[in-house]
Chain A
């Protein structure tokens, strides 16, 4: 699958411009991490990609066909997990998955449901009413419904929210495995999730794409712009963007990004988080 986002702008009826002239190329197989601060336009982009919104300008093409023209066929190849989704509480997890499988028009729903339930580790609660499930278990049902039918495009919005660390690792692995033969778009605030599994990263801020490339490329942009210093040594920190402060026996050790590191700052190897923060801080200046 190949998705071409060409000069897409989106302005809401209230006048708020959420995306400005955004252009991206996404193609499978790939696991794309979508990063950006609140209000950057990530959710709007996702809604555009699931055809819940229409761009006010520009176009989105799926395998060369405008999305608006092939919406039904496109949706049949889509698995989507929104951030604040809901479930029918009176159904069991399997009944709900059966319902979603039928909506998707799956021909072998039982097998698809079994696979999805296994993939998210929900076997024990498969026949429990959804109203009895914990937040993490409901999240797993949500992920399972997205996986139903092996869709060619998977879009996950904050999929690991509510999951414990062990589950997060499990799902990272699952996403990574899933992305081997399809396109997976992962929007998250947890850089760690992105860092460990994504082969592509898109950073959005204020409706614009600040970066689109591999994690290594993003990290590379921050090389020479990340450093550490003792807080007591810092005469002025105005030019620095402090990303971490750690109390140690010798005092408070700060980690910061900046276009030009002051002399008292010792350069450090940038992490993906540093690179992301550097990118955002540079934009904010």
Chain B
């Protein structure tokens, strides 16, 4: 009660201090560092660039500033000897609680002010994909919660040591750990959470949950630590231990501290986000299990019920097996380690045991089936899916929300590990019930159809496929069917991205690219069956393709990327560039050349973009906006001091060296290589000859032991040497 009464008083005093307002001002301004100096979210989505980075930078800087303010404030009472007066009036313990509350309130005020101050700028920079909920949560979790953690840590350091200098050293070391030794551990980096990307077009709930979990775990830990330091507040002229012994006489005080620490420890140990898969990535134990003798897979039916508000999955999978052995057998499944599982075989409960071994984001479950000739094995599974621990620094998957979900293999249903297929392969029927706004998109040649609609609008989708695994996307998608290149392109993109896609002429770009590339290089191998799904995914760090479907990473279609003049003269042309990657980059993978080589998927992609633009808008336009620009860039490149004297580049500090070398690499890939291709085009006899060479390369027989298109492959196909394409 006393602390509650003291709180407004102490807050009022704190807010009369110039130092407090200086700290608040600097903390409010600190998100600016995220636009320039400190950009831990390295994805190119608009929310990564203009929300995550500023909020993270603000949180880190604000946290440090509030840590310093805490030490300053706690020390000044003793330094200025005001504590002689206050301690004679109230207990220093009550005062410590009041000071902590006041600092926390100042931190909350700062977070609120920062969020308000940056709202207009963020809104303008992020553009059409801005949403208030993402903004509020980012400022709460990335920025806001860093401040109380710092206050607790710094306050504990001071209360233990009662020395400002020592507290500063301890706090600096603790903050430093977060940026160095602990930086790659998502649970330990308390000040700078692992946020590599935020989705513009879809949701970020998994990411927010991860960060919130980490922050709250630390909040409990530091609150516990602070509570212990609170017991050590010096009283009655006693030292640390004497004060602790006296203060701990009231048992509830140490009990609260220990409870908080225990909660934190338990939360840390029982974190629900990442699995304990075998860290040996070459381990293949789950894929080398001995097959169940004389057991054959017949078919399976999967029903999945995602809870999009909780981010969980509940499912029921019915497997039918033929068991010719007449003996009970053990069937092994790889199940997402976050799921639990129960099993019934032919209507009777059977044993389902989790072995404890995890590999490749799968927990091994062993299910006993009876010796009946035909076994219908019904598995009920569900839970909060865990991600593979190797992805712990790239948080955000598997996202399950009301606007997006991606369920891959063992996340969708238990993955059968030790049963051979029958003659029909692995016939599978999948049903998934989704909120009204979501469209199910099986990643492959299957098409999902709505089979039922509930009163609340939830729809059940069904599709069939023939595989053990499978990937299912669902989201608030817009679908456009585009006839191009002799096939139907089903173009799925997020509804939130509609304005950007329309402004970039996405549908026209798809048609132009598919027509051109299919006509000149040949159809995509994964566009079989007369249809190809182009599915925009939540930011994932790249795309991939399978038979009948190809993925477009949303990061390639942001307003910022579509405005990248290096890739195209306008948004529509950058869209063309990104779609050309379906042929050069995805349809044909490129090897990673040695440093200094211009060879990459970008060179052929930029060249092809130039060719398409030339066809669409004429030679003069393409010359002006592409070839002439490449020449200018390359001329500057060859004059660059560090290109002529690379030995000096090595002498620069690492950060500067990386900045320069990345910039030079960009020119090599986006300008030098296309120019070399133009020269090659001239040397081989013109555009038609080059188109034929590229056609042949695109359709070459792939060596699956090394499936990459190399520079040497290209030179050999052209009958040229590397020197012949020298532009110097």
Contacts and interface: CB of A to CB of B under 8 A. Distances in A.
Interface of A: 12-13, 47, 50-54, 71-72, 75, 78, 80, 82, 84-91, 95, 99-100, 102-105, 142, 145
- Pick the 4 closest A-B CB pairs, nearest first: A86-B81, A86-B80, A80-B88, A82-B84
Contact of B88 (A12, A78, A90): A78
B82 A85 contact: yes
B80 A88 contact: yes
Contacts of A52: 84, 87-88, 236-237
5 contacts: A47-B237, A85-B81, A85-B85, A102-B6, A145-B85
A84 B88 contact: no
Interface string B226-242: 00000000001111001
B645 interface: no
Nearest to A145: B85
B651 interface: no
A47 B84 CA distance: 10
Nearest to A76: B89
Interface centre among B17, B18, B89, B236 (most CB of A within 10 A): B89
B91 A72 contact: yes
Nearest to A50: B88
B239 A13 contact: yes
A71 B12 CA distance: 27
Nearest to A80: B88
> Which of A47, A86, A105, A145 has the most CB atoms of chain B within a 10 A radius of its CB?
A86
B632 interface: no
A14 to B, nearest CB: 11
B90 interface: yes
B89 A75 contact: yes
Nearest to A104: B89
A12 B239 CA distance: 11
Most B CB atoms within 10 A — which of A78, A87, A102? A102
A87 B9 contact: no
B89 A91 contact: no
B16 interface: yes
B13 interface: yes
Contacts of B250: none
B16 A84 contact: no
Interface string B57-86: 000000000000000000000011110111
Contact of A87 (B2, B79, B82, B87): B82
Contact of A82 (B13, B85, B90): B85
Contacts of A72: 90-91
A91 B80 CA distance: 13
Nearest to A55: B236
B85 A54 contact: no
Given A75-B90, A105-B5, A89 B80 contact: yes
A75 B81 contact: no
Interface residues of B, number: 26
Contact of A90 (B17, B87, B237): B17
Nearest to A54: B236
B80 A103 contact: no
B618 to A, nearest CB: 70
Contacts of B238: 13, 54
B482 to A, nearest CB: 67
Nearest to B82: A86
A84 B85 CA distance: 10
A52 B89 CA distance: 10
B149 to A, nearest CB: 27
B9 A103 contact: yes
Interface in B87-101: 87-91
A91 B86 CA distance: 15
A251 B394 CA distance: 95
A60 to B, nearest CB: 12
Contacts of B88: 50-52, 75, 78, 80, 82
B247 to A, nearest CB: 13
A145 B13 CA distance: 16
Identify the interface centre among B5, B18, B81: most chain A CB within 10 Å of its CB.
B81
A85 B84 contact: yes
Contacts of B80: 86-89
Contacts of A86: 79-82, 84-85
Contacts of B89: 75, 78, 80, 100, 103-104
A91 B13 CA distance: 8
Nearest to A10: B237
Contacts of B6: 102-103
B13 A88 contact: yes
B19 to A, nearest CB: 8
Interface in B1-59: 2, 5-6, 9, 12-13, 16-18
A88 B89 CA distance: 16
Contact of B90 (A89, A91, A103): A103
A100 B238 CA distance: 25
A250 B84 CA distance: 52
A183 to B, nearest CB: 15
A142 B236 contact: no
Given A13-B237, A85-B84, A104-B89, 8 more contacts: A72-B91, A80-B88, A84-B81, A88-B13, A88-B80, A95-B16, A99-B9, A142-B85
A250 B344 CA distance: 123
A145 B84 CA distance: 12
B13 A99 contact: yes
A85 B88 CA distance: 11
A191 B133 CA distance: 72
A12 B242 CA distance: 12
Nearest to B83: A86
Contacts of B87: 50, 52
A125 B399 CA distance: 64
B237 to A, nearest CB: 4
A75 B6 CA distance: 16
Contacts of B12: 99
Contacts of B242: 13
Contact of B84 (A84, A99, A100, A104): A84
Contacts of B84: 52, 82, 84-86
Contacts of B90: 72, 75, 103
Nearest to B237: A53
A100 B89 CA distance: 8
A79 B547 CA distance: 85
Contacts of B81: 82, 84-86
